[in-house]
Amino acid sequence: MSDLIVILIPVFPLLAVLLNGLLGSRYSHEVAHRLAWGSVGLSFLCAIGVFAETLGAGAAREVVAYKWIFGGDLTVNLAFLIDPLTCIMLLVVTGVGFLIHLYSVGYMHGEEGFTRFFTYMNLFMVSMLLLVMGNNYLVLFIGWEGVGLCSYLLIGYYYDKVSAAKAASKAFVVNRIGDAGFLLAIFLVFQNFKTLDYTQVFAQAGQLSTEMATAIALCLLVGAVGKSAQIPLYTWLPDAMEGPTPVSALIHAATMVTAGVYMIVRNHVIYDMAPAAMTTVACVGGATALFAATIGLVQTDIKRVLAYSTVSQLGYMFLACGIGAYTAAVFHLMTHAFFKALLFLSAGSVIHALHGEQDIMKMGGLKSKIPWTHGLFLVGTLAIAGIFPLAGFWSKDEIMAHAFVHGHYVLYGMAAVGAFLTAFYMFRLTYLTFYGQSRVDHHTAAHIHESPPIMLGPLVVLATLSVIGGFPGVPPEDGWFHHFLHKVTAQVGGESAGHEAGSGLVVMLMLAATGIALAGWGLAHYLYSMRTETAAAWAERSPGAYRTLLNKYYVDELYDALFVEPTKKLGLVWDWFDRRVIDRLVVGVGELTQSSSAASTWLEKYVIYGGLNAIGYANHLLARSWRQMQSGQVHHYAAIIVAGLFILVHLVLAWWTGSGGVLR
Task: Looking at residues 171 to 230 of the shown chain, list those that interact with another protein (rule: CB under 8 A).
Answer: 172-173, 176-177, 179-180, 183-184, 186-188, 190-191
- Under the criterion CB under 8 A, does residue 165 sit at the interface with another protein? yes
Angle of helix 326-353 relative to helix 371-385, nearest 10 degrees? 160
- Under the criterion CB under 8 A, does residue 519 sit at the interface with another protein? no
- Under the criterion CB under 8 A, does residue 639 sit at the interface with another protein? yes
In the set 5, 8, 417, 653, which binds another protein (CB under 8 A)? 653
Contact 35, 20 (CB under 8 A): yes
Q: Residue 592 CB, nearest distance to another protein (Å)?
A: 10
Cis peptide before 232 (omega within 30 of 0): yes
In the set 33, 37, 85, 145, which binds another protein (CB under 8 A)? 145
- Under the criterion CB under 8 A, does residue 539 sit at the interface with another protein? no
Instruction: Closer to another protein by CB, 545 or 652: give it.
Output: 652
Q: Can you tell me the distance from the alpha carbon of 240 to that of 304, in angstroms, rounded to the nearest whole number?
A: 9
Q: Can you tell me the distance from the alpha carbon of 351 to that of 360, in angstroms, rounded to the nearest whole number?
A: 10
Piece in contact with another protein (CB under 8 A), picked from 164-172, 296-304, 329-337, 487-495 = 164-172
Q: Residue 79 CB, nearest distance to another protein (Å)?
A: 14
Piece in contact with another protein (CB under 8 A), picked from 330-338, 373-381, 497-505, 578-586 = 578-586
In the set 117, 144, 344, 427, which binds another protein (CB under 8 A)? 144
In the set 47, 93, 125, 168, which binds another protein (CB under 8 A)? 168
Q: Can you tell me the distance from the alpha carbon of 121 to that of 154, in angstroms, rounded to the nearest whole number?
A: 8
Say which residues have a Cβ less than 8 Å from residue 268's Cβ, sequence separation at least 6. 321, 324, 326, 489, 491
- Under the criterion CB under 8 A, does residue 560 sit at the interface with another protein? no
- 634 conformational bin, left if phi > 0, alpha if psi -120 to 50, beta if neither: alpha
Under DSSP, is residue 71 helix (H, G, I), strand (E, B) or coil?
strand
- Under the criterion CB under 8 A, does residue 572 sit at the interface with another protein? yes
- Under the criterion CB under 8 A, does residue 487 sit at the interface with another protein? no
Restricted to residues 325-364, the positions that interact with another protein (CB under 8 A) are none
- Under the criterion CB under 8 A, does residue 486 sit at the interface with another protein? no
Angle ∠(501,503,507) on CA atoms, nearest 5: 105
Q: Residue 48 CB, nearest distance to another protein (Å)?
A: 27
In the set 210, 534, 567, 596, which binds another protein (CB under 8 A)? 567
Torsion over CA: 369, 372, 373, 375 (sign): positive
- Under the criterion CB under 8 A, does residue 660 sit at the interface with another protein? no
Restricted to residues 73-102, the positions that interact with another protein (CB under 8 A) are 73-74
Q: Can you tell me the distance from the alpha carbon of 446 to that of 622, in angstroms, rounded to the nearest whole number?
A: 81
- Under the criterion CB under 8 A, does residue 640 sit at the interface with another protein? no
Torsion of CA 189, 191, 196, 197, to 10 degrees: -80
Distances (CA, A) of 582 to 190, 585, 595: 39, 5, 20
| Length reported for the chain | 664
- Under the criterion CB under 8 A, does residue 590 sit at the interface with another protein? yes
Q: Residue 186 CB, nearest distance to another protein (Å)?
A: 8
Q: Can you tell me the distance from the alpha carbon of 89 to that of 54, in angstroms, rounded to the nearest whole number?
A: 13
Angle ∠(520,526,531) on CA atoms, nearest 5: 150
Q: Residue 551 CB, nearest distance to another protein (Å)?
A: 24
- Under the criterion CB under 8 A, does residue 4 sit at the interface with another protein? no
In the set 1, 26, 56, 72, which binds another protein (CB under 8 A)? 72
Under DSSP, is residue 656 helix (H, G, I), strand (E, B) or coil?
helix
Number of shown-chain residues binding another protein (CB under 8 A):
86
The alpha helices in 228-366, defined as continuous H runs, are 236-239, 245-249, 259-266, 268-272, 275-296, 302-322, 326-353
Distances (CA, A) of 10 to 50, 92, 121, 133, 260: 13, 14, 13, 9, 20
- Under the criterion CB under 8 A, does residue 589 sit at the interface with another protein? yes
* H or E element that contains 63: strand 61-71
Q: Residue 524 CB, nearest distance to another protein (Å)?
A: 39
Restricted to residues 294-323, the positions that interact with another protein (CB under 8 A) are none
Restricted to residues 592-631, the positions that interact with another protein (CB under 8 A) are 593-594, 603, 606-607, 610-611, 614-616, 618-619, 622-623, 626
- Under the criterion CB under 8 A, does residue 142 sit at the interface with another protein? yes
Instruction: Closer to another protein by CB, 551 or 594: give it.
Output: 594
Q: Residue 161 CB, nearest distance to another protein (Å)?
A: 8
Restricted to residues 101-140, the positions that interact with another protein (CB under 8 A) are 138
